[in-house]
Every structure is written in C-alpha cells, then in structure tokens.
Amino acid sequence: MVKQIGAVVTNFDSNLSYEIARNYFTSIGFEIIQDSKPYQMILQRGSLFWGSDWRTKKMSVKVDITESIGNSTLIKCEYDINFLLYDGKEANRHANEEIEGLKAFISTYNQPNIIEKDRICVNCRKKIPWDAIGCPYCGKKL
C-alpha cells in the first residue's frame, strides 16, 4: 500500500464535521465500511476482480475527526492506495484533488448570515428548526 495523508480544519464541531466529510466522500463514490461516529470512518472505493471473485480493494481512506478547544475540528484523511492502482505522482495528485474538493465542500457550509439557533440540513443545505428531528424539506433524519 501507498499512503497519502491530507488534512482540513473546520470551524464546526466534530458531529457536523463528521457529517460533512461523510457526505463529501460518499458523493464521490466511496462507501463506508467502518463507522465510529463522530470520530472516525473508513471508506472504500472500488475493487479488482482477482481470480474468481472481487477481493482486492483499489483505494480506501481513513477519516479521523479531532475536535479542539474553540470549536475548530481537524479532519485528517489517510488514503491507502493499492500497489496495483498506484501510478506514482498521478495517484497522489488524485488524492490531493479530493482533499481540495473536501475544502471546497466545507466552504459551502460557511454561510455568514446563519443565526446560532438555526440549523442546516446536511443533505439539502436548507435552514431547519433547531429542535427538528428530521428535515421538513428533504426528509433526512438528523
């Protein structure tokens, strides 16, 4: 395996940072294979046909969420790239592009006019009541 590590700092708590990271990585084709909400998740994308079955994973990413004092959170992404997929700088470039994509995805959550008592649905991005148990617009359970 070849490892590639990147990190992003958010101004959100660990729960929202976890949801943002989960929504981003699942939107680009990763599936969660291990979940320790809100502190860690391991996701995998793709597999290779090996003999008579699908066994060898192409790429996985371990996402660690670490909240610090002052409501900022570190999202650390550790990619494992299979040697069969690794093509030098190209594989590292794709991992770096995904980290940059995560940064851009997070920036969509940084809306300046949100009142503290409002919440944002992590699925449809609309304002919802603070005490809602589900989004009234898209039905996502919170």
Taking only the tens place, the pLDDT of each residue in 87-104 is 556 656 777 888 899 998
Helix (H) or strand (E) holding 44: strand 40-50
| Residues 55 and 81: beta-carbon distance below 8 Å | no
- Please name each of the domains of the chain with its CATH number: 2-110 (3.30.530.20)
| Residues 71 and 13: beta-carbon distance below 8 Å | yes
pLDDT of residue 91: 59
Taking only the tens place, the pLDDT of each residue in 46-98 is 765 555 555 555 778 899 999 887 778 999 999 887 655 555 566 567 778 88
pLDDT of residue 94: 73
| Residues 12 and 83: beta-carbon distance below 8 Å | no
